[in-house]
Structure formats: C-alpha cells, structure tokens
Structure 1
Amino acid sequence: MNGGDGDVTAAPAGSLDWKFSQVFGERTAGEEVQEVDIISAIEFDKSGHHLATGDRGGSRVVLFERTDMKEHVGSRRDMERIDYSNSKHPEFRYKTEFQSHEPEFDYLKSLEIEEKINKIRWCQAANGSLFLLSTNDKTVKFWKVQEKKVKKLSEMNPDPAKSSENGSSTRSSVSSGHLSNGDEFSFPPGGIASLRFPVVVYSNESSIMARCRRVYAHAHDYHINSISNNSDGETFISADDLRINLWNMEISNQSFNIVDVKPTNMEDLTEVITSADFHPTHCNTLAYSSSKGSIRLIDLRQSALCDNHSKLFEEPVAPGSRSFFTEIIASISDIKFGKEGRYILSRDYMTLKLWDINMDSGPVSTFQVHEYLRPKLCDLYENDSIFDKFECCLSGNGQRVATGSYSNLFRVFGTAEDSTEATTLEASKNPMRRQVQTPSRPARSLGSSISRVVRRGGESPGLDANGNSFDFTTKLLHLAWHPSENSIACAAANSLYMYYA
C-alpha cells in the first residue's frame, strides 16, 4: 500500500481540487494482471468508516477500515464517536478478507456459474459486528464480520502456588480423597502429586472472523445484476434480466417475485432489467432501469406483483436521429438514488443523467461523458466495448456526480444549475497525471444482456475529449463516493485508488 498527499494542477473556479490519497494493490511495471484479481465491486458503508471490494475471482471480499480518526479518552460513548477533524486526508488500511463465492456448475442447464462478485451492499452494523451482502450471478450471501479474542491454553503444569482458584479447589478435593459427587476413595500411603488441569484463557490478541449467516439461492434464472437493501433493515431485493425478487433477510429459502417482465413468448422480448435500487428512506419505493433507457418507479403498496409502475422516466429519441446503435447506447448500466431520495442518477454509455422523481418529463441535467466516441461506435461495437457497464455515484450532499471512462479516467460533474464543473482525473498513483476538462455547461433538458451479440475485433486506440490518446483495454467501471466527505474510491483493474478534495 502506498499513500500520501500530492499537489496537482489548479482546478477551474468552482471545482474541487482533487488529490491522490492512497492506492492498494498497484501493479509494478510490466506485471501481468490475473483476470481473477480484477476488482468488480466497491461499496462504502453508511458511516464511511469501512470500504469493501470484491473481485472477479469471487474468492475475496476485502474490507478496509478508516484510520485517520481522532481518539477520544473518556466514556465508552466517547470512544464510539469518531472524529476526523484533525485528519490530513482520508486514510484506510486493510482490515480482513474472506472467500465469498466459489465456481459452480448447473448440471440441469449445463451452465457454468462464475464466482465473480457482481455487487456488495453493506447492512446495518450491530453489537460491534459488520454485516454485508455479496452476490455472484446466481447466489446472494449474507456475511457477519466480527472481532474475537483469541483463546489460549495455559501451561499444563503451572506452579501450584500460582495456579488458578479453580485448579486449587480441584486439587484440594482430590487430595482429600473426595469427589464432587460424594463418592469416597483412598490414595496409597503418602498420597500422590496434585492433579493439574489446563485452563483456557483469553489472550491480548484478537482475530477478525467472517461467517456466512445465510445463503439466498435458486431464485434467479438469469444473471443477478443488482442487490439493494431496504431502509426497513429487514428486507432486500435481487434483480436479474427479467425479474426482481424481494427477500426477508431472516428467510433464505423463500422470496417474493415483485417484478416480472418476462413475456409469454420470449420472441416478444423487447427490453430487460439492467439495475435496481431501493429508495433510501421510503421502504415501499424502488426504481429499476431497462435496456431501452427508461427508469420505472414502483410502489410496493399498490399490489403484490408490480406489473404497473407509478412513474416512468425516459427521454424520447429525437426524430430522424435513430441508428443501429441507438438502443445499445441508450441502455442504462447503473442507477443510484441520492441520499435524500429526491433524485436518481443514471448512467448510459454516452451520458450521465440526473432525474427529479417529481418531474417525469425529462432529466434535470445531462452530462456528456463519451460524446467524442460517437464517430467510433462501429469500432466500439466490433471490439465489444459498447457493452461495457460503467457505474455512477453521487456525493453525500448531492452537489456532484461521478462516473468512469476509458484509460482509467473518471469524471466529476457539478449538479448546481450554474455550475460548469467538469473535471477529468486518471486513477494513478502519480497525481501529476491529472487532466482538467473544460467543456461548456452540460445541457439542461426537459423533455439487452440476454440476446447480446458478441463480436470480437482489434483493440484500437483513439483520442479523448482533450485530444489525448486512450485505449479501450483499460477502463474504470467501478467507483464509490464517501457518504459524507468528498472522497472517491475507484478500481482500475486490480488496483484500488483513493482520491479526496
């Protein structure tokens, strides 16, 4: 692990000044990255004190904990409060890791189930223990992580003068020729040496243990693309291409199908579910996105099976602008509710869109991420890059949004109406490699995985919006924003980079 401050070039007025903080697992020059080590999921917990990552190998969920806190001396309650006021910059350290999933084989369908971790979601901590959900393509698991004191055996034959009270009482009863059940026995003349027993004691050492509490399996015919916790702390959803299931966290052998978009005839299938997210405060509300670029808001109070949505958010395609790639690039790869639940952020291949759930006529703002790639859509289709699924995230205060791009770049945009903030950074240990993009203000607008065709072609480099060369082999798909600070964790291949502002 490497960490530290780094000065960077000045940011445009009104923009945050981003600085490099830490990197975990960075490659050395010429080192080949194994496919199983590539990070496939990142998630902060609600407090921001812990961070979890999952990899494509599925064998590791790695947990990190915050270390730059001010220590309180006083009551137990004081010790539970964490203060970052004296922190120079956010700093995390490795906490533990555990094996989450293993490769499986579905013999009925002759299908190999990858162990790749698709999503991680933190649950509410309790009694000093951490809880989280992790999922691969088919199975969700519920984990408990806690710190336990290590037990050790004392010496087998301690000095009688220093022996424990339990040991002394045992020896005295044996030496007197009496057993605890009242039976009497006698020793040879002169007696025998006192019997001594090993005593289990707690050492000053502790170990962190992860235990799988429940396994939620056999509920999805297609690959799980999303899991999301409910604000009630008791339920969560898992979504695949055609269905969304509701689970009670205490019941692993039964789930309720709340959304089903599977047509009677699969030839009539026109769109699939791509992402789903629970409202952060309303336990009856959730949203899911589709491969046609629409977002549906549903209310669980309306019916057990949510065939109808309460609101539909989509942006109509301008007449005459349709092409072969229109539906492919319109597919939404990720949606996130803002912290307060009023806004939904969505990411499609070309743009980020911010939606107000009270206004379904069109997005509040549209942020151009890959507009410069529009002339290259044919190449992107040939090398399969057009199907890359980029994630998105919002800051805790909702004033900024972020998403990833190629060449391990990520972009941060300001959401205020008069903001021109649009910053591009490269996930790199060297902060001087930062680039600043200064486009015009993002336009204000008011207005599938099952049948995917896989075609392979050469990986061709190109130019980004700044005229700098880039290639499609390096991409930053996964990132997360700290819930209360301007700090971003992002994954580039097997490396986890931390930036702060």
Structure 2
Amino acid sequence: MGEDGESTKINHSFLRDYVTEADVISTVEFNQTGDLLATGDKGGRVVIFQRETESKGESEELGESGEYNVYSTFQSHEPDFDYLKSLEIEEKINKIRWLPQQNAAHFLLSTNDKTIKLWKVSERDKRPEGYNLKDEEGRIKDISTVTSLRVPVLKPTDLMVEVRPRRVFANGHTYHVNSISVNSDGETYLSADDLRINMWHLDITDRSFNIVDIKPANMEDLTEVITAAEFHPQHCHLFVYSSSKGTLRLCDMRESALCDRHSKIFEEPEDPGNRSFFSEIISSVSDVKFSHSGRYLLTRDYLTVKVWDLHMEKGPVETYQVHEYLRSRLCSLYENDCIFDKFECVWNSTDSYQIVP
C-alpha cells in the first residue's frame, strides 16, 4: 500500500512538471469501426490511437472496449496571425472528423478556428529497391554509368505509419469554426461558425457554398449564434444546426440553395417560473448528434442531455440531468467563466446509450 501510494505521488508530480496547457485535449473522435481514436489538443497536435488486435478479440468476448496504444502523432495546425484584423489564430484543434474508409488508407479532417485540413493516414511495410537511375542512397546516377536495366522490387521493411496533408481549406470563415461534418455522399462536408454554415467539396479548396447565413444587416439585432451543425447520416440533403437559444433547426437543401428557412424547428417551451439570469446561458446547445438510424437527435447543453424525435418538434422525448448539483453554484461558475465551457455528446454504435463528459 505504501509503494502504491508513493507511485501515485510520483505520477502526480510528473503531470505537474511536464504537462502544459498545449497538452490539454480539446476534441476526440472514433473512426467508423472504433479501431482508431483521434485526439486533438490545444497545441495543434493530433494523436491517433489504435485498438490492439489481441485486446480487441479478448474484449469482444468479455464485452469490453479493449486497449488503445499510440498509432501516430503529427502536428496538424500551427499558430497564425490575421494581419487584416490584427488577431492571433490559435493552433488549438476544435474538431476532428473521419471520412468513410474507401481503401487501405484512412482520411480525416481537422480544424482550428479558421483553417480545415484533410489528412491521409497510411501504412507502409515494403520499400522499393533496384532503381535504375538512383543509387542505394537515393542520389541520381550519372546516366553514362547505367549499362543495364533492371526491374525494381518491393522488399519487406519495418511498418511505418505515414501522415500526409492532402488538402487545405482556408479563408472560408470570418468567425471561428465550431463544427465540421462529413456528408453521407462521401464527397462533401459542412463547416459552421457563429453566423454561417458553408458546404465544401473535398476536391475543391478555393471555394465553398454558403448554405446558412443568419448574420443580420445590423449586428445590434443579433439575438443568437450557431453553436453546432451536422449532416444526416443517410440523407445527404438534410442537416441540422443548433443555436445559443437552445433551438434546433432541420434544413433540407432540396428546398433552396440558401437554407435560411428551416424545414422543422425543435425547441422546448421555457417555464417562466424557473427563469433566471443564467437561463439563456445554460440552455445554449453546445453539441448535436444524429443517431445512427437518423431518427433521433442528441443534444447537450450545460446541465442536461436531451433526445429529440424528428417526428415530434414540440419537445424532447427524453431529458437526462447532468451535474444537477451545479445548478446551485451557477453564480460562482459565472464569475470564473466556467459556465461558458462547451461539452460534447455522442451515441454508442447501437444508439442504445449516450456518452457525455
């Protein structure tokens, strides 16, 4: 017991001495199979973890999730500066989204406040040998010394994980990007900031299409901002976005190119008896997720998690209280700005559970 207690102290000391603000994880995302887990941190790094094969087999028998080990680490974003607005752009990773896997390689999108990047993650366990115009060190040979031709061959080598940037989608947002979502068509994705939602094609980096714009002519008339947006998992023409007022708007791109007019709006009537100074702050939806079936929506605000049925707009079908004990401490949380923290939510693979921080 004494040794265990001492080791715990050492671990805590290590964290205090070596873990910096840049190491704090800002977002996490599983790929579609659950075998890879990508995390982004405030330092602009992405760390990918892979579920171990042996642990995977054992965990399936035991009903557990298995053990994840580091698969690859790379620097996704660097700090930047907007000279037109004299603003620093943080390298912090806001969101990560995996693309559906089409071949042996994996692709993921990562974004900070302004720039979205597409990355290719691939494995290489063979290397070519026997070049005609290069020597073993990779230097170009003198052509006059080449007297015969040979066919290069692939020889086994140690497994290497390569991460390469494939696309950079920049200059699409005036305000900070808060969410990205890959469409079910596998060709497009959306990105949202406080006032606009843009749709991008994965092969086109120099332009995007604005599909939602809630910016008023006079900014003094602004009453709400966009907090999150997501495509429907099956229907490529449907998407939903949430607002700081706690409302959800379902939009259909078949109705018009600019979806300022929603198809459905989901909101829960407020009880006047429970209204307080903090009501609007804690009712702001920080995350919204479609269920895998596409029938339900999961939302997260400061104190609750709600499940909405797409066929019933008048209110959620289920409400779960999260950290209810904080309700009596909202004044203190407001003073130290913790009341403005944003939380995410996610469905499990069978839509039977919801996972929240």
> Normalising by structure 2, what TM-score?
0.87
Q: Does 1:234 align with 2:187?
A: yes
**Preserved contact between residue 150 and residue 204 of structure 1 (Cα < 8 Å):** yes
Aligned residue type for 1:333: S
Deviation at 1:92, TM superposition (A): 1.9
CA distance in 2, matches of 1:115, 1:95: 22
Correspondence for 2:34? 48
Q: Does 1:105 align with 2:81?
A: yes
Q: Which has the larger radius of gyration?
A: 1
- Please give the residue correspondences for 1:294-443 in structure 2 after superposition, counting only pairs within 5 Å: 294-404=247-357
Deviation at 1:204, TM superposition (A): 2.4
**Preserved contact between residue 245 and residue 256 of structure 1 (Cα < 8 Å):** yes
- Please give the residue correspondences for 1:94-173 in structure 2 after superposition, counting only pairs within 5 Å: 94-149=70-125, 151=127
Correspondence for 2:141? none
Instruction: Write out per-residue CA displacement over residues 125-170 of structure 1, whole angstroms, 9 at most, x where no aligned residue.
Output: 233101000000000000001112454768xxxxxxxxxxxxxxx9
CA distance in 1, matches of 2:333, 2:58: 47
CA distance in 2, matches of 1:375, 1:210: 47
Deviation at 1:371, TM superposition (A): 2.3
Deviation at 1:87, TM superposition (A): 6.1
State which drifts further: 227-236 or 92-101. 92-101
CA distance in 1, matches of 2:92, 2:53: 32
Deviation at 1:397, TM superposition (A): 1.8
Correspondence for 1:491? none
Structure ranking higher on relative contact order (CA contacts 8 Å, 6+ apart) = 1
CA distance in 1, matches of 2:43, 2:55: 36
**Preserved contact between residue 55 and residue 67 of structure 2 (Cα < 8 Å):** no
Q: Is the helix fraction higher in 1 or 2?
A: 2
Structure 2 counterpart SS, 1:29: helix
CA distance in 1, matches of 2:54, 2:253: 41
Deviation at 1:206, TM superposition (A): 2.8
CA distance in 2, matches of 1:88, 1:303: 46
Q: Does 1:38 align with 2:24?
A: yes
Instruction: Write out per-residue CA displacement over residues 413-452 of structure 1, whole angstroms, 9 at most, x where no aligned residue.
Output: xxxxxxxxxxxxxxxxxxxxxxxxxxxxxxxxxxxxxxxx
CA distance in 2, matches of 1:106, 1:287: 30
Structure 2 counterpart SS, 1:36: helix
Alignment RMSD (CA, Å): 2.4
**Preserved contact between residue 68 and residue 92 of structure 1 (Cα < 8 Å):** no
What fraction of aligned residue pairs are identical, expressed as a percent?
A: 56
Q: Does 1:63 align with 2:48?
A: yes
Aligned residue type for 1:64: F
CA distance in 1, matches of 2:127, 2:355: 46
Q: Does 1:263 align with 2:216?
A: yes
What residue ranges of structure 2 are gaps of 5+ in the alignment?
1-9, 131-143
Correspondence for 1:272? 225
CA distance in 2, matches of 1:97, 1:112: 25
Correspondence for 1:28? 11
Instruction: Write out per-residue CA displacement over residues 338-382 of structure 1, whole angstroms, 9 at most, x where no aligned residue.
Output: 110111010111111110011001000111113222221111100
Deviation at 1:292, TM superposition (A): 0.4
What residue ranges of structure 1 are gaps of 5+ in the alignment?
1-26, 72-81, 155-169, 181-196, 405-501
Deviation at 1:69, TM superposition (A): 4.8
Q: Does 1:208 align with 2:161?
A: yes
**Preserved contact between residue 54 and residue 117 of structure 1 (Cα < 8 Å):** yes
Aligned residue type for 1:131: F
Aligned residue type for 1:28: N
CA distance in 2, matches of 1:200, 1:111: 52
Structure 1 counterpart SS, 2:73: strand
C-alpha spacing 1:308/1:83, structure 2 compared with 1 (3 Å): farther
Aligned length: 330
Instruction: Write out per-residue CA displacement over residues 96-148 of structure 1, whole angstroms, 9 at most, x where no aligned residue.
Output: 11110000001011010000000000002233101000000000000001112
